[in-house]
Amino acid sequence: MKVKICGLRTLEAAQTAERAGADFLGFIMWPESRRFVPANQAANIVRSLSGGALSVGVVVDQPVGTVAALARRCGFDAIQLHGHEPPEYAEQLRASADVRIIKAFRWRDDFSVETANEYPADYILLDTFKKGMAGGTGEAFRWREAAEDIRRLNKPMLLAGGISTENAEEAARTLSPFALDVSGSLEENGEKSPKKIRAFMRTIDEIRNEAVQ
């Protein structure tokens, strides 16, 4: 099981996540988010990393040309579409920016297994639905109720929404996701805590070790 640590804003936090073994590093490029990071700041952080993790720019219903330019400027390996971007948007973005695509769906809102499977994305991310919010709710959705839908997905699935050190094992056991996407639970005073990042990754290492025994 892999890990995406999202909402990174500082080089220290990003390097800590990478060194601790995170597989994806997420940067929020949507200006309305409290975790927004300017493009020049994100670019400087990505350039300073070793390349051991995939860098991901997270966008929400922004013009495809703007996002393609962001991807090239920041050196992102992937773009996470966290709004209501149609399939043709993803196709245009992939063609112009040569990035992997993560498409986010909010379970119990716009989520359909058939739509997710047909969407031209490399990965599907499932997040919690909360009216008026594009993401970052800090709340888990009903995993057991969603399990049947999730088993029918034919793409790797990243599980988001309220993931923490305390429930990571339950999430892994209940849904067997390709990756866990964690953000808010690793923060102190609105910023990522290197201590919490390392503690979370130690928990993930324990889960991984148990899985191979």
Domains and CATH numbers, the chain: 2-212 (3.20.20.70)
Per-residue pLDDT at 212: 65
CA gap 74, 26 in Å, rounded? 12
Per-residue pLDDT at 213: 56
Beta bridge pairs of residue 59: 81
Per-residue pLDDT at 128: 80
Per-residue pLDDT at 132: 47
Q: Two tokens at 102?
A: 């993560």
Which stretches of the chain score pLDDT less than 50? 131-136
pLDDT tens by residue, 117-175: 999 999 999 988 554 444 445 556 678 888 888 899 999 999 998 899 999 999 999 99
pTM assigned to the model: 0.92
In angstroms, how far is CA 104 from the centroid of its own chain? 8
Per-residue pLDDT at 56: 98
